[in-house]
Structure formats: C-alpha cells, structure tokens
Amino acid sequence: MSTATEQIDDILKKGYDAGFVTDIEQEYAPPGLSEEIVAFISKKKEEPDWLLQWRLKAYRRWLDMKEPTWAKVRYPKINYQDICYYAAPKSKENAPKSLDEVDPELLRTYEKLGIPLHEREILAGVAVDAVFDSVSVATTFREKLSEVGVIFMSFSEAVKEHPELIRKYLGSVVPVSDNFFAALNSAVFSDGSFVYIPKGVRCPMELSTYFRINAANTGQFERTLIVADEGSYVSYLEGCTAPMRDENQLHAAVVELVAHEDAQIKYSTVQNWYPGDENGKGGIFNFVTKRGLCEGARSKISWTQVETGSAITWKYPSCILKGDYSIGEFYSVALSNHRQQADTGTKMIHLGKNTKSTIISKGISAGHGQQTYRGGVKISRGAANARNYTQCDSLLIGDKCGAHTVPYVDVRNASSKLEHEATTSSIGEDQLFYCRQRGLSEEDAVSLIVNGFAKQVLKELPMEFAVEAQKLLGVSLEGAVG
C-alpha cells in the first residue's frame, strides 16, 4: 500500500466519526474541501465576515491552480478531497497520563537530544501538570511582553483582538493566489501565531512557538504573521526541536514577515517533523511558503533554518528587499537521510537601491536522501548597487544519495554585484578513520564532521537552539554510515 493511501486511510478513519454541521462538539470535519468546509472552519473560529470572504477567495483561486511539479521531489499523488481540513484541539482524555505510556523510541530520541525530563513530558503531550505549567509560563511571558507593547498571541485570538492589524497585513506578503499550497493554506488555515512589535521596541526575549503549539495543538495548516514596526527588533524561534507524534500528514504552512523602516526580524527554524522510516514509509509532506518583506529603508530580515525532518520538504524562505539599503539573509542547513527528499532554498528579490542579500546553504545527504538547493536572485531595474553573495555547499555521506544545485539569477541592473560559490564534498573514509583513531566512535565522528560542515549556519542560531540543532544533526544521521 502506498504511503499516501495509508496516510489518507488514517485520516479517513478519523473523518468518518461524525457529520459536521449539526454537532458542534465533534472533533473532525469530514474529509474533503468545499466552500462549505471553508465556511465551517471560519464559523468554528468565530471569524468576521471579511476573513471568511478572504478564505473563500483563496479557495476559489486554489480550484483553478495546479500543484507545482518543478521541484525535484517524488511523492504519491495527494488527493485533496481525502484530507480532513479541520480538527479541533485534541481532548486531553486520550493523551498519555505519564511518560510510561509514551513510545519508548520517542523518549530515547528526547534523551539523546538532552531535553530535560519536564520538557519531554510537554513534548510528548502528557496531559498532566506539565501542560498547566506551560500554560502558566506562556501567560507570564505574555504579561512581560505586553508591558513593552509587544503582541504575541495565537492567530485566532489576534483576529478577535487586533482585527485592524490582521486585516492590514494578512496576505500582504504572500497573496492568496501566490502558489498552490499558499492558496490552500489561506482557505483552510487552522491557527498560527501573530506577533507585532511596536515602533522602536526591542523585544525583550526570544519569542518561540514552542509552548504555544503544545498548548493549542496547532493543526497542519499554520499561519504565522510577524510585523516589526519602525526601528524595532525581534528574534523568533519556530518549531519543536523534537519529533512530533503526528505522522503521515500534509503540512502547508504560510509565514509572512513585514519589517518596516530600520526594523529587524530574525526568524530561526529547527524543523524536525517525522521523516518516515528507513524505507520511506510514513513521514510529513512539508510544503511551506515563507516570505519576508523588507518594507522600509534599512530594514533587515534573516532566515535561519535547520531542516532535518519531513519525508518531503518544499520550502523557500525568501526576502523582498523593497526598502533602500535593506538586507536579506538566508542561512540553511538541510539534511536528508534514508528516503527523505528536500527541495529547498531561497529567493532574494532586490527592488530597492543598495540592497544586499546573503545566502549560505549547506545541504547534507545520506542514505538514499535527495537534496536540492533551489535559489533565485532577482535584481530589478531600479535596484541600483544591489549585492548578493551566494554560497552552496553539499556534503554527501555514502554513495546512494544525491545533491543538486539549481541557482537562478535574473539581473536587470548593471550596477549590481553578485557572487556565487558552490562546493560538493563527501565524508571520506579517511576522515572517519582519522577521528576513530583518535578515540571517537563512528557516530560521534559523523556528527562532528557534519557539525563542522554546518558551522557557518549553526552560529547564526540563538545559543540554546544551536546546541539542540547540533545534537539533532547527530541523531538524525544515526545509522547513516557503516
């Protein structure tokens, strides 16, 4: 049986539980997508009419769109009418009561990552005090943030509490019809995060979805919107550094960032969704649209990502450099082991004068993993003195994996300056032997070499994240050699 069929079967099993229109208490809408389902989701979330109309517009556009096929990824055809588009937060009744009830394999991974016991409970979704704790921690955070005027809440809450901001910025960077998956997300997004940093405010802490996701059990179509007003700064950390329990899912998230004059947004992701097993069975299909708009002069957006999970990754965090002297950065480490496939990169679109972009991409392939860097640099006519530096390095482990580099460059202004460097190397038997001769185990040796390779990117991550990301790279490569 193919992966997709199993995936769909799983969802179908849940989906047939009950009808959706009459019973308000039910957890799942039936599978399939229609205007009714879109309206149902909107109603469930008690959204204003303008948002419903926005969703419907996206849905209608989506109907006319074709799933993109240009990426170098192979997966069974997804039947969008078999997917269930609304799942209410899971009840805590079925959650494990203690760590004893959690999959030992998962716990072993947590242990390897060095996640404290207490956090492991939260991650595994244990329905005891841990969750209450995290809620209270989140509340403490929010109070501290509101003192400086920072808004950080779930997307649904923001729609109710700050409709003017949502209405102004939603879809302003990634329009509903931007691409197939973005349109799908716009129609059916379940929840996500909203951040607003007021003028001149330096957000006093790193914002993280970590707690909130676990509390709210955010679904598979997330929507994140971050707005940094003039002269503000925010560092945002996305994602869990541990595998989620959810398996066999389609993820189609949208992230929009807006940086006004002199504002800076640093967006860091450590993505470790379930990658499927060694034979490519199961795993998340991750189709994500992430884009930042450097709206104002001297604004800056940095994307840093460590991608170790998902069966399929389709993701291109990009920057539109509209403001003069604005800066876009993309630092990426993507790892594909076993049967994982990743097609990832960035687009840097230079519109303003003296804009500058930097792309550092490190791809690691092991097992039968396939890895593609796909990047675009566009210098438009008005972007005088624009500069771009691109560096793509690929590391191969074993001889059954693949690495591909597909850079696109489109230059319309002769005063621009672009540099591109690319290397491909493999972890040599000689490197491994050298490390082992000095007393390191084979696995530690691989981890060390890979972390050395990825260092340029890892150092861009906030400290705590970097440590976990390092361990994650090691854990993800277990069994990659030998």
Where does this chain bind other proteins (CB under 8 A)? 428-431, 433-442, 444, 448-449, 451-456
295, two tokens: 């709206």
106 vs 333, beta carbon nearer other proteins: 333
352: which DSSP letter? S
Report the sign of the C-alpha dihedral through residues 292, 77, 274, 469, in that order. Answer: negative
Amino acid at 392: C
Is the Cβ of residue 101 or residue 444 nearer to other proteins in the bound state?
444
Least Cβ distance, residue 437 to other proteins (angstroms): 5
Bridging pattern class, strands 300-307 and 318-321: unpaired
Q: How far is the CB of 307 from other proteins (least distance, A)?
A: 18
The candidate with the shortest Cα–Cα distance to 409, out of 429, 386, 431, 427, is 386
Nearest distance in Å: CB 348, other proteins: 24
Contacts of 419 (CB under 8 A, 6+ apart): 388, 389, 390
Strand partners, 152: 195
Query: Cβ(380)–Cβ(350) under 8 Å?
Result: yes
With respect to other proteins, which residue has the nearer C-beta, 99 or 448?
A: 448
Which residue lies nearer to other proteins by CB, 68 or 428?
428
Ranges of H-type helices in 255-306: none
β-pair partners for 341: 312, 370
Nearer to other proteins, 418 or 440 (CB): 440
- Count of CB atoms situated within 10 Å of the CB of 206: 16
Q: Specify the DSSP element, H or E, that contains 92.
A: none
Q: Min. distance of Cβ 86 from other proteins in angstroms? A: 45
Nearer CB in complex with other proteins: 155/453: 453
Question: Does residue 89 sit in helix, strand or coil?
Answer: coil
What whole-number distance in Å separates Cα of residue 105 and Cα of residue 151?
38
User: Rounded to the nearest whole angstrom, what is the least distance from the CB of residue 436 to other proteins in the complex?
Assistant: 4
Minimum Å gap between C-beta 466 and other proteins is: 13
Least Cβ distance, residue 429 to other proteins (angstroms): 7
Nearer to other proteins, 65 or 440 (CB): 440
